[in-house]
């Protein structure tokens, strides 16, 4: 255990078990680069304001640069006897520079320091995650474009509903991911605000130039209330919320593909390299990867609920409860990064089985809506067309026939308006052709959507 930075007023050393319990170094070591960068900007500003000398600042800056390099090379190990990454860096600095390094914490508290570090970390994570989402969008667009001609049943209640293009189904996920990216990127407005200068909670007596620090560290503005700045973790919660919605989307995509890869559906073949087998059943090829993505959604939701709960009862301002934000945040970042990368690779290698899909479009009476629309075009009201089409479906079910297998005479028995053109009308491909409305599953509409998506994800 190293000497505590706050040891002055204590009569005895901290209990060892308590020390381990209290420490965050085991997980906040990840913030070393942000912590050092923040300290360097703070140091330059202290010198510019005449709070420390230029010579002292130069020595501190050199030492911090060295510390960063040594950590990166593995020469300086972030070890457990330190309380957190902030005290670790400060100790390392003092070891290198002696009393000069003791000046770095002037006009600063770990409370505004940790808020700064986490904001910088989240800012980078948003950029990385947004790039990964874009890669997944591109993969979706790629598979959609490659399989543009495949028709499958669209489902509601997991019951066959109407024919759709597989590409249209896939592009639905493109839209979800587009919103995900927007959500992450929009959050930057609220992340990119400098808390440093708030000190412990009340601001500081020193004449800091907060704007200078903000500019150096790439922040858009400085926080307006020191008490809010040190006790705010909204931006972490928002990140985990955006991640939760993203995971919900990945989970639904996984679930769709799990169903499609089942023997009963057989729409999609997953690459062997992305599946696993069974220790007892030799024939098995299981979609574990997709199941894991679906499963990991739970832990990201857990992180969200955990942090919302941590924050809900805290009196202003900083409380140690807030140290719990980091594991939830880091675990979320790691989980979504892994899931995004795996599912993007998998999508690049799936193959679709047009025959199984086609067969499925012939079962399930998915042309019934189109039959009703046909009757409307022949002059019926939609309500009675719906009723008539329903009766025709029931009639066909009773005779174990598909709609296209009924004779014209049988059709005419239900509505004299029905003509021989009904058979062409009842082909799933015709149903697709009739739906070129914006946002519809018509081939032209979907091609337009794909082209728009390509433009949106170019660069």
Task: State which of residues 84, 238, 331, 373 lies at the interface with ligand ARG (CB under 6 A).
Answer: 84
Q: How many residues bind ligand ARG (CB under 6 A)?
A: 10
Rounded to a whole number of angstroms, the minimum distance from the CB of residue 85 to ligand ARG is: 8
| Beta bridge partners of residue 159, listed in sequence order | 156
Alpha-carbon distance of 140 to 167, in angstroms, equals: 9
Task: State which of residues 110, 134, 168, 296 lies at the interface with ligand ARG (CB under 6 A).
Answer: 110
| Beta bridge partners of residue 162, listed in sequence order | 154
Nearer to ligand ARG, 91 or 110 (CB): 110
Q: Is 430 known to be catalytic?
A: no
Rounded to a whole number of angstroms, the minimum distance from the CB of residue 143 to ligand ARG is: 42
Cβ–Cβ under 8 Å, residues 91 and 82: yes
Nearer to ligand ARG, 30 or 96 (CB): 30
Q: For residue 246, state whether it binds ligand ARG (rule: CB under 6 A).
A: no
Q: Which stretch binds ligand ARG (CB under 6 A): 109-117, 220-228, 298-306, 403-411?
A: 109-117
| Beta bridge partners of residue 151, listed in sequence order | 165
Rounded to a whole number of angstroms, the minimum distance from the CB of residue 332 to ligand ARG is: 16
Burial of 323 (0-12, 13-18, 19+ CB in 10 A): middle
Mark residues 2-31: x for contact with ligand ARG by CB under 6 A, - for none: ----------------------x---x---
Alpha-carbon distance of 215 to 159, in angstroms, equals: 56
Rounded to a whole number of angstroms, the minimum distance from the CB of residue 48 to ligand ARG is: 26
Q: Is 157 known to be catalytic?
A: yes
Rounded to a whole number of angstroms, the minimum distance from the CB of residue 118 to ligand ARG is: 8
Rounded to a whole number of angstroms, the minimum distance from the CB of residue 322 to ligand ARG is: 5
Alpha-carbon distance of 410 to 193, in angstroms, equals: 71
Nearer to ligand ARG, 123 or 183 (CB): 123
Residue 307 corresponds to which tokens in the numbers above?
Answer: 């942090």
Task: State which of residues 71, 93, 114, 366 lies at the interface with ligand ARG (CB under 6 A).
Answer: 114
Alpha-carbon distance of 214 to 25, in angstroms, equals: 26
**Closest among 442, 452, 459 to 141, alpha carbons compared:** 452
Rounded to a whole number of angstroms, the minimum distance from the CB of residue 167 to ligand ARG is: 47
Cβ–Cβ under 8 Å, residues 403 and 367: yes
Nearer to ligand ARG, 29 or 153 (CB): 29
**Closest among 25, 26, 61, 67 to 46, alpha carbons compared:** 61
Cβ–Cβ under 8 Å, residues 39 and 104: yes
> Of the residues 53, 221, 262, 278, which is catalytic?
278
Mark residues 26-65: x for contact with ligand ARG by CB under 6 A, - for none: --x-------------------------------------
Nearer to ligand ARG, 86 or 183 (CB): 86
CB-based contacts of 203, cutoff 8 Å, min separation 6: 197, 226
> Of the residues 157, 407, 420, 459, which is catalytic?
157
Nearer to ligand ARG, 28 or 370 (CB): 28
Burial of 185 (0-12, 13-18, 19+ CB in 10 A): middle
CB-based contacts of 135, cutoff 8 Å, min separation 6: 340, 344
Residue 157, phi-psi category: left (phi > 0), alpha (psi -120 to 50), beta (remainder):
left
Alpha-carbon distance of 342 to 350, in angstroms, equals: 13
Name which of residues 278 to 337 contact ligand ARG (CB under 6 A): 318, 320, 322-323
| Beta bridge partners of residue 155, listed in sequence order | 160
Name which of residues 357 to 386 contact ligand ARG (CB under 6 A): none
Rounded to a whole number of angstroms, the minimum distance from the CB of residue 120 to ligand ARG is: 14
Residue with tokens 């019934």: 368
Nearer to ligand ARG, 84 or 256 (CB): 84
Alpha-carbon distance of 244 to 253, in angstroms, equals: 14
DSSP 3: P
CA distances (Å), origin 17, targets 25, 137, 360, 388: 15, 48, 63, 76
Nearer to ligand ARG, 314 or 393 (CB): 314
Binding residues vs ligand ARG (CB under 6 A) = 24, 28, 84, 110-111, 114, 318, 320, 322-323
- Kindly list the catalytic residues: 157, 278
């Amino acid at each position: 255990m190293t000497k505590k930075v706050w040891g002055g007023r204590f009569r005895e050393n901290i209990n060892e078990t308590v020390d381990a319990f209290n420490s965050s170094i085991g997980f906040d070591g990840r913030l070393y680069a942000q912590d050092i960068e923040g300290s360097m900007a703070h140091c330059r500003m202290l010198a510019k304001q005449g709070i420390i000398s230029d010579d002292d600042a130069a020595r501190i800056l050199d030492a911090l640069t060295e510390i960063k390099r040594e950590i990166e090379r593995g020469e300086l190990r972030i070890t457990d006897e330190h309380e957190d990454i902030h005290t670790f860096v400060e100790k390392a600095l003092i070891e290198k520079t002696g009393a000069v390094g003791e000046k770095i914490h002037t006009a600063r508290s770990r409370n505004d320091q940790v808020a700064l570090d986490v904001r910088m970390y989240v800012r980078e994570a948003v950029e990385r995650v947004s790039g990964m989402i874009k890669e997944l969008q591109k993969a979706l667009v790629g598979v959609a474009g490659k399989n543009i001609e495949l028709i499958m049943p669209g489902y509601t209640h997991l019951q066959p509903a109407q024919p759709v293009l597989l590409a249209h189904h896939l592009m639905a996920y493109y839209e979800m991911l587009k919103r995900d990216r927007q959500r992450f990127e929009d959050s930057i407005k609220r992340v990119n605000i400098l808390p440093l200068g708030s000190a412990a909670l009340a601001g500081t007596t020193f004449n800091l130039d907060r704007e200078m620090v903000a500019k150096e560290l790439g922040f858009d503005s400085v926080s307006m209330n020191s008490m809010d700045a040190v006790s705010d973790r909204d931006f972490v919660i928002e990140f985990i919320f955006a991640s939760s919605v993203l995971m919900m989307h990945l989970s639904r995509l996984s679930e769709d593909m799990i169903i499609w890869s089942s023997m009963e559906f057989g729409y999609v073949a997953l690459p062997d390299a992305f599946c696993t087998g069974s220790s007892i059943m030799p024939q098995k090829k299981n979609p574990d990867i997709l199941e894991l993505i679906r499963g990991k959604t739970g832990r990201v939701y857990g992180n969200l609920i955990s942090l919302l709960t941590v924050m809900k009862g805290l009196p202003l301002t900083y409380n140690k409860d807030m140290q719990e934000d980091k594991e939830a945040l880091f675990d979320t970042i790691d989980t979504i990064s892994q899931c995004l990368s795996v599912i993007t690779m998998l999508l690049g290698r799936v193959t679709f089985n047009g025959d199984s899909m086609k067969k499925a479009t012939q079962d399930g009476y998915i042309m019934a809506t189109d039959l009703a629309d046909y009757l409307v075009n022949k002059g019926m009201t939609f309500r009675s067309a719906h009723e008539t089409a329903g009766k025709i479906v029931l009639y066909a079910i009773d005779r174990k026939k598909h709609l296209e297998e009924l004779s014209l005479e049988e059709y005419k028995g239900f509505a004299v308006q029905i003509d021989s053109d009904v058979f062409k009308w009842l082909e799933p491909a015709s149903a697709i052709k009739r739906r070129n409305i914006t946002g519809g599953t018509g081939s032209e509409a979907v091609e337009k959507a794909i082209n728009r998506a390509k433009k949106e994800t170019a660069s």
